[in-house]
């Protein structure tokens, strides 16, 4: 409210006129359409990426970056 009062004084109009202009501007412009969710996949992954070829059980066993090498080994064995 304080900023509105300051803006009204700076523009040389009353607070009522400032609100009326803001309301008129808001009602005359069409509302923005909500953005649609991003298209999937969000990440580009090569076809030979090991993660794509692992079974869920294998993925569960990979808990940290330290075990990333294990994932590669599982993929190489197939």
Residue 6 lies in a domain: yes
Distance (Å, rounded) from C-alpha 47 to C-alpha 53?
9
Q: In which domain, by residue range, is 59 found?
A: 45-78
Q: What is the pLDDT of residues 1-45, one digit of tens each?
A: 899 999 999 999 999 999 999 999 888 887 777 788 878 777 777
Query: Ramachandran region of residue 56, left (φ > 0), alpha (ψ -120 to 50) or beta?
Result: alpha
Q: What is the pLDDT of residues 53-66, one digit of tens each?
A: 778 777 777 665 55
Residue 52 lies in a domain: yes
Residue 76 lies in a domain: yes
Residue 38 lies in a domain: no
Residue 55 lies in a domain: yes
Kindly state whether residues 52 and 25 are assigned to the same domain: no
Half-sphere exposure of residue 12: CA atoms within 13 angstroms, side-chain side: 0
Mean pLDDT over residues 43-56, rounded? Answer: 77
Burial call 25-34: b when 16+ CB within 10 Å, e when fewer: eeeeeeeeee
Residue 36 lies in a domain: no
Residue 34 lies in a domain: no
Residue 53 lies in a domain: yes
Full-model pTM:
0.39
Q: How many domains does the chain contain in total?
A: 2
Where residue 49 falls among pLDDT bands split at 50, 70, 90?
Answer: confident
Q: Which of 47, 53, 55, 60 is nearest to 76 (CA)?
A: 53
């Amino acid at each position: 409210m304080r900023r509105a009062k300051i803006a009204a004084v700076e523009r040389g109009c009353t607070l009522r006129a400032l609100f009326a202009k803001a309301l008129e501007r808001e009602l005359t412009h069409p509302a923005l359409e909500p953005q649609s969710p991003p298209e999937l996949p969000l990440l580009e992954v090569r076809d030979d990426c090991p993660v794509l070829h692992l079974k869920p059980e294998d993925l569960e066993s990979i808990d940290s970056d330290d075990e990333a090498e294990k994932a590669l080994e599982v993929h190489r064995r197939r």
